[in-house]
Amino acid sequence: MSKVHVQTTINGEAVEYLCEPQQSFLDVLREDLLKQGTKEGCATGDCGACSVLLDGRLVCACLMLGVEAEGRTLTTIEGIASDDGLHPIQQKFLEHAALQCGICTPGFIVATKALLDKNPNPDETTIRYWLAGNLCRCTGYDKIVRAVQAAAEELAQEA
């Protein structure tokens, strides 16, 4: 099976790759581009561990084909921190002990970024429903929700 040539932008950087037509974007990211901060938990769009931003919109990389990245702009967990250091969302996840094993954490942080970009001041219910596509088996979500609330406050003060 011949591979398809794809040109795309990931975390502000022009990237090109060859992928199989049926290969998921998650598979390309992890196994070919070695951007492995994006995790696979289910490969069926049910767990959110592979959350990435596609032109700013939250998607599961496992539900997207590698070829669908052509001409698009993607952000992965590797693109959340800046040269100045951690993003406030990352900092608040640390301070609030909002991770235990850490496998779901990149997905939660990307999903939180998408939420706060869209709604800088979400209430608890909004946070819980927005993050309902991201599974965490360790924390019971309490400290994650608190970290998101704290990050929203921090970002509001910075703005």
Partner 1 sequence: MAEAVDYKYIGTSPVRPDGVDKVTGRAQFAADQNMPNTLYGKILRSPHAHANIKSVDVSKALAMEGVYAAVSGADFPGGARGKVGGEGGGDIGDVARNIMARDKALYHGHAVAAVAATSLTIADAALAMIDVEYETLAPVLDVVAAMAADSPLLDATNFTKNLPETPDKPSNIASVTVLTRGNVDEGFEQADVTVEGEYHIPMAHQGYIEPHACTATVNEEGKATVWCSTQGHFEFRSMTSKILDWKVGDLKFIPAEIGGGFGGKTTVYLEPVAVLLSKLAGRPVKMMMSREEVFRATGPTSGSVCRVKVGAKKDGTITAAKAWLAYEAGAFAGAPIGPGAMAIFAPYVLENFHVEAHDVLVNKPKVAAYRAPGAPQSMHAMEIALDDIAREIGMDPLDLRLKNAASEGTRAPYGPKFPAIGFKECLEAAKAHPNYTAPVPEGAGRGVAAGFWFNIGMQSSAEVRINEDGTVIIMEGNPDIGGSRASMCLMAAETLGVDYERVKAYIGDTESTGFCNVTGGSRTTFATGMAVVQACEDIIAQCKARAAATWGVDEDQVEWEDGQAIPAPGVNADVTPMSLADVMASAHKTGGPLLGRASLNASGAGASFSVNFVDLMVDKETGKVDVLAFTAIQDAGTAIHPAYVEGQMQGGAAQGLGWALNEEYIYDADGVMENAGFLDYRVPVASDLPMIDCQIIEVPNPRHPYGVRGVGETPIVAPLAAAANAVRAATGVRINDLPLSPPNILAAIDSD
**Token pair 């939180």 in the structure block, residue:** 112
Residue selected from 86, 153, 154, 155 as contacting partner 1 according to rule CB under 8 A: 86
Q: Which pair of structure tokens corresponds to residue 47?
A: 């767990």
| 1 contributes a contact to partner 1 by CB under 8 A | yes
| 75 contributes a contact to partner 1 by CB under 8 A | no
Residue pair 70/19 in contact (Cβ under 8 Å)? The answer is: no
Q: Which pair of structure tokens corresponds to residue 139?
A: 């924390």
Residue selected from 15, 135, 154, 155 as contacting partner 1 according to rule CB under 8 A: 135
Residue selected from 36, 68, 153, 154 as contacting partner 1 according to rule CB under 8 A: 36
Rg (CA), the chain: 16
Burial label for 14, CB within 10 Å (0-12, 13-18, 19+), is: exposed
| 142 contributes a contact to partner 1 by CB under 8 A | yes
* Cα-based angle 18, 63, 46 (whole degrees, multiple of 5): 145
Closer residue to partner 1 (CB): 71 or 142: 142
| 113 contributes a contact to partner 1 by CB under 8 A | no
Closer residue to partner 1 (CB): 71 or 79: 79
Q: How far apart are CA 95 and CA 26, in angstroms?
A: 29
Residues of the shown chain interacting with partner 1 in the complex, contacts defined by CB under 8 A = 1, 20, 22-23, 27, 30-31, 34-44, 46-47, 49, 76-78, 80-81, 86, 90, 93-97, 99-106, 109, 124-125, 127-129, 131-146
